[in-house]
Copies of this chain bind each other. A is one copy, B any other.
Amino acid sequence: MDRDNEAASRFVCSVRERCIFETGIKLATIYHQYVGTPFNGESIESLEKAMERSIMVQPYVSDVRISIDRSVLPPKEDHYSYVSLGGNMIDAIVEVTIDGITVRSEMRFDEELGYPLMYVSDIRE
């Protein structure tokens, strides 16, 4: 048995449910790995790309788009003109595909909740 099947055999749920589980893992990875990272207007794009690529290497990710809120960028004035990445600044969309089933989950600051909500937004079978 190869590793993909071996791993699948550990789960007590359906493939659809596993896709949902995997998207939760990916969104929390984005949040807890990168919150605290320093950035400014010159490095923000490089950071977004590296975040996306690091998530793409995780198992079963078929798409990921991350953008960081540019409205938090301060004018470049001195050595302290930069920002530490906060969870509320991240907008992320992740898709996981296993055996033809694709689940999309998203994370962004939800104005009504006042909270950076992670939620399942689309399931395609």
The interface of chain A, by Cβ under 8 A from chain B, is: 2-4, 6-7, 10-13, 16-18, 20-29, 31-40, 42-43, 46-47, 49-51, 53-60, 77-80, 82, 84, 86-87, 105, 110, 112-115, 117-123
Which of A20, A49, A117, A118 gathers the greatest number of chain B CB atoms within 10 Å?
A20
A84 and B119 alpha carbons, distance in the complex (Å)? 18
B-side contacts of A26, CB under 8 Å:
28
- Residue pair B117, A36 in contact (C-beta under 8 Å): no
B-side contacts of A13, CB under 8 Å:
20, 120, 123
Interchain CB contact (< 8 A) of A28 among B25, B37, B77: B25
Provide a sorted-by-A list of 14 A–B residue pairs whose CB atoms are within 8 angstroms. A6-B113, A7-B115, A11-B119, A13-B120, A16-B17, A21-B118, A28-B32, A31-B32, A36-B87, A38-B57, A39-B54, A42-B53, A46-B50, A47-B54
Q: A21-B23, A33-B36, A80-B115 are in contact. List 6 more A-B contacts (CB 8 A).
A: A3-B79, A6-B113, A16-B17, A21-B105, A31-B36, A35-B35
